[in-house]
Amino acid sequence: MSEKIKAIVIRSNDRKEKDKNILLFSLEKGKIWATLKGVKGEKAKMKLAQNLFCFGDFVLEDGRSGKIVTGFDVIESFHEISEDIEKYFEAMAVLEVVNAIEFSSESEVAKMFVLTLKTLKSICFEYDRQYYILDKFFIELFKLNGFPLYTDKCSVCGTKSFERMFIDYSTGEIECMACKGFVSEEIPKASYLALKILTNTDFDKLKSVKLADNSEYTLLKILVKNFENRFDKRLKLIGILS
């Protein structure tokens, strides 16, 4: 019995001489491995389906050792991402994060799928300044998973008048000097302002903002550390933090 899913290719590796295994992140099924038979052959009809970032309709059938892709219609290849090294590394970071997350409900899958697709579209077509979109991706990710980074007040006492800002990695919340915990890290003012601006700016408006120099990269390191503590996962982020 066949089934059709909308999915993004988030991992790909060789299998046998002409086959490929691909990890699909789908709207309907979450993450699922499938095999592309003969896709490395010269006359293969579904060559595009093996490429990372590719988004499309995949038809799957049960095989002896798992799902087999028997049909594919591309919706968006995002091929421009692979032609720009900065775009590529940031998009790969998004895929690494998605691959690291374990979903517990269909609702979580659907929300994360929409966020992932929106982020890849922004990187591909709206990319203007390095790390802005990736920062926004992490900010929205925390919000979806119930860890919003409130930027207008201390999450503990509620004060809105604090000169120094801290993030408590045990709670994933922003705190003032008086309330900060033992595993807190101070957020530089420029990066805190970057956090506020990006939190309140939609993906398609990011080109209109200009953050203080290097504040977006400092913020990214803080957001990554918060992710690793919240999800108990370690990220490599090759080309970005390494």
For the domain spanning 80-231, the CATH number is 1.20.1440
Query: 71: number of CA atoms within 13 Å, CB side?
Result: 10
Average of per-residue pLDDT values in the chain: 93
Taking the domains of the chain in order of start, what are their residue ranges?
Answer: 2-77, 80-231
Residues 6+ apart with CB under 8 A from 235: 93, 96, 97, 100, 224, 227, 228, 241
Fold match between domain 2-77 and domain 80-231 = no
Could you report the per-residue pLDDT of 22-36, keeping only the tens digit for each? Answer: 999 999 999 999 999
Name the pTM for this structure: 0.94
CA 83 to chain CA centroid, Å, is 19
Please report where in the chains the tokens 């490395």 appear, as a residue: 40
Could you report the per-residue pLDDT of 219-238, keeping only the tens digit for each? Answer: 999 999 999 999 999 999 99
The amino acid at residue 199 is T
Classify residue 229 by burial, with Cβ atoms within 10 Å: 0-12, 13-18, 19+: middle
For the domain spanning 2-77, the CATH number is 2.40.50.140
The pLDDT profile of the chain, 242 residues, written as one tens digit per residue, is 789 999 999 999 987 778 899 999 999 999 999 999 988 777 778 888 999 999 999 999 998 889 999 999 999 999 999 999 999 999 999 999 999 999 989 999 999 999 999 999 999 999 999 999 999 999 999 999 988 887 788 888 998 887 889 999 988 889 999 999 888 999 999 999 999 999 999 999 999 999 999 999 999 999 999 999 999 999 999 999 86
